[in-house]
Amino acid sequence: MPPKNFFIRICNWDEAQSEAQRIRQLVFVREQGVPPELEMDEWDRRCDHALAYGADGAPVGTGRLLPDGHIGRMAVLKDSRGQGAGGALLLALLEEARKRGHACARLNAQVGAIGFYRRHGFDAEGSQFIEAGIPHIAMQRRLKPDPD
């Protein structure tokens, strides 16, 4: 299926909570079996959140950027995977990290998503570890500075 256009909105938790929480519950808790008490955390209020909206205006994905440049909670609804929503979310979060002046972006990738992040310039570092019962690996990507 060819990539679709997605509208990406960067917002705070108050603006993102309803949609981001619903998407994360569906993907992480219901689909992947992450315990609900691990899914939402104290960092949500301190993060910038990205929401991806499809052509019909419905939210289909989310991700967040922590104050230290760490990207996390990347989730795309099952019916919208493979159409470019995840890539659009990731690029928006990387741009936000670059604007903040971060030299690199970091994330903990689920092992099954390593190829996706590699295609977006991330390199794996270290050994696999278990997070929320799912194998992960730390990854990072250097960011280019703001052009003058």
How much is the average pLDDT of 2-18? 88
Give the pLDDT score at 11: 97
Range of the domain at 106: 7-142
Give the pLDDT score at 121: 96
How much is the average pLDDT of 79-94? 95
Give the pLDDT score at 146: 60
Q: How many residues does the chain have?
A: 148
> What is the CATH classification number for the domain harbouring 72?
3.40.630.30
Assess whether pLDDT exceeds 50 at residue 1.
no
- Band (pLDDT 50/70/90 cuts) for residue 127 is very high
Whether 2 maps to a domain, the answer reads no
